[in-house]
Structure 1
Amino acid sequence: MAELNLKAKIRKAEEKPKILREEGIIPAVVYGHKIKNISLSVDQKSFKQVFAKSGESALIDLEIEKEKKLRKVLIKEAQTDPVSGEYLHIDFYEVKMTEKITAEVPLEFRGVSPAVKDSAGVLVKNIDKLEVSCFPQDLPRAIPVSISALKTFEDAIHVQDLEIPDKVEILAVHPSDVVASVTPPRSEEEIAALEEKVEEKVEEVEGVKKEEPQDGEAAPSPADGEKEKKKDEK
């Protein structure tokens, strides 16, 4: 992959994050092991272009104004607005090329599964990323997973089946953990049973609604119930 470069400016204390965002600028910070935190600002459009290629597992050359040396960083966290999707804040983690790092690397599923194509099965991805440890220069952008090996519903791809670079160590999973498999399609009987359950739930909800008092009608109180009971006894 070609080197990724991103420019950043030093963010002054008086610069308000809200105003920066309105101007298309993202507040950010860079930090690292034994590295002093620096408040930054980056262009929203430029960041989107770089992040689309890097994700959180590719090194970026961060060019900070007035600094002669580029900083090697990873995007540690990218906060987004849940409504607009615009980026609100970025955390850059500066790495040292002589120190190992821990990062999450996405799995890239490739190919076509015969069990899906020919038997209408459903691909199940149990794991979609792996935590790894390695030197920054050895960090893979993604780990490929060929699903063409899933020919039947009994087949499965395990962690030990993946092609992991020699200089990369996989963490937090067991070699026998299942990465992906294919489940058979639901039978007509199973689909019918599910539809019946849905209908039962709908009927239960409708029944509850019918028992609720109408607008302007007070619900009977426990005291009213006692009065009616006494009348019946008399």
Structure 2
Amino acid sequence: MLTLKFTNRNKGEEKAGMLKAVYYGAKEKAQSIFVDAIEFEKLYREAGQSSVINLEGEGKKFQVMIKDVSYEPIKYVPNHIDFYVVEKGVKIDAHIPFEFVGVSEAVKTFGGQLVKVMHELHVEAEAVDLPSSLEVDLSALENLDSVIEVKDIKLPKGVELYKTEPDEIIASISKAEEEDLSAPVSGDISNIEVEEKGKKDEGESGDSE
């Protein structure tokens, strides 16, 4: 398990090269701290937001999750971190990002469009059992009617769905048809991502005679 060192921080205190942070938990009073900025960024790239890490300092040691990261608006570098102290035997809910792998035959061969409807899964587990990501194999999308649903994802031991239905669609194939721009659009489509990777018409590759 990855480890990050901390020192206590007084109100209004600043230190060069250090990030302001706070740790707290259901049974742990909030404490303002400093962590090394470079060490945190290295750890965050490796652990992500759903992994459990050791937080050590001032004679104390906690298992924590990175609950929230605030960023400086112009340079967009971290300027404050919230660490949540986890309890052994207590389940928590978290959003785990999908890692899309493989190639869809429906896109490669039949000219379909890959539609990613979900990008993360809401699950519940003890903090130590939470994965950093969940793999979605796009090769399961073999034809234009194929879909990948939540129930198709193999969850690690101890991890369960949380406020998510098994038949919710993660990814599907859309037929590459000409859009009717006059048709009204309904529903929330802000999280839907469409990738156009179908075959090009043969006539597009050469000049007309």
TM-score range (shorter-chain normalised) is 0.7 to 0.9
Q: Match for residue 57 of structure 1?
A: 50
Are 1:31 and 2:29 matched, yes or no? no
User: Where does the alignment leave 5 or more consecutive residues of structure 1 unmatched?
Assistant: 195-234
Deviations 1:80-114 (A, max 9, x none): 12321111110000101121122111111111111
**1:51-200 pair list within 5 angstroms:** 51-64=44-57, 66-67=58-59, 69-187=60-178, 190=179
Aligned with 2:10 (options 9, 12, 17): 12
1:122 and 1:35 mapped to 2: Cα distance? 49
1:111 partner letter: G
Cα-Cα RMSD = 1.6
- Distance in 2 (CA, whole Å) between partners of 1:168 and 1:13 is 39
CA offsets 1:24-67 (integer angstroms, 9 cap, x no match):
32110000012111101111111111111111110111112x21
Q: Given that residues 105 and 141 in structure 1 are in contact (C-alpha distance below 8 angstroms), is that contact kept between their aligned partners in structure 2?
A: yes
Q: CA deviation at 1:186?
A: 4.2
Equivalent-residue separation in structure 2 for 1:173 and 1:61 (angstroms): 30
**Structure 1 residue 14, shift from structure 2 partner:** 4.3
Distance 1:154 1:111 in 2: 18
Q: CA deviation digits over 1:117-155, x for unaligned, max 9?
A: 223432211111112111122112211111100012210
Contact 1:27–1:41 (Cα < 8 Å) also in 2: yes
Q: Which has the larger radius of gyration?
A: 1
Question: Which position in structure 2 is the counterpart of 1:209?
Answer: none
Report which of the two has the higher share of helix. 1
> Counterpart of 2:88 in 1: which secondary structure?
coil
- Write the letter of the residue equivalent to 1:46: E
Q: Is there any run of 5+ residues in structure 2 with no aligned partner, and where? A: 182-209
Measure the CA separation in 2 of the matches of 1:77 and 1:28: 10
Q: Secondary structure at the match of 1:48?
A: helix
Q: Which residue number in structure 1 is paired with residue 193 of structure 2?
A: none
Q: Could you tell me which residue of structure 1 aligns to residue 37 of structure 2?
A: 44
Provide the secondary structure at the position in 2 that maps to 1:51: helix
Aligned length: 181
